[in-house]
Amino acid sequence: MKTIILPVLATVFAPLVLARINEIPDISSQALKQAVARRQATLLDISGPADFKAGHIPGAIDFVREKDNLEAYLPADPNRLIVVYCHHEACPDYTTAAAAAVDLGHTHVEFYQPGLTGWMKAGGLVEKGEGPEPR
């Protein structure tokens, strides 16, 4: 029975999850700079541990390292801004982190399409190291 139900559920719910991810809006460099300066956003960097340690947007979380414990890093308020970004521009892998936040009930998830390289070109500061502890 499980072998029949699981594929049916996946067929029904997969398009719903993909539709939600396709609705993730982009955030501009200016809006992100303001949110970072005001500490109004939680940032998910999906570059991976080595790139993350070498440099990330201040306050960002290493999604690849912390994805199994992500809920401990995300804000308690599901309406608070979460921004997902990659190291380089236009990285398609952001959908994994965006979907994880949405699946945990977060409703305000945005994508910073220029990535870390765009952040630096826009004059944004970069920090190095492990990143923050869970809340």
CA–CA dist 49, 85 (Å, integer): 14
pLDDT band at residue 39 under the 50/70/90 scheme: very high
**Domain extents for the chain?**
2-121
What pLDDT score was predicted for residue 22? Answer: 59
What pLDDT score was predicted for residue 131? Answer: 79
17: pLDDT strictly greater than 50: no
Percent of the chain at pLDDT exceeding 70: 82
Determine the CATH number of domain 2-121: 3.40.250.10
Helix (H) or strand (E) holding 19: helix 2-22
CB-CB contact of 81 with 53 (8 Å): no
Q: What is the pTM of this model?
A: 0.82
Judged by DSSP in three states, 66 sits in: helix
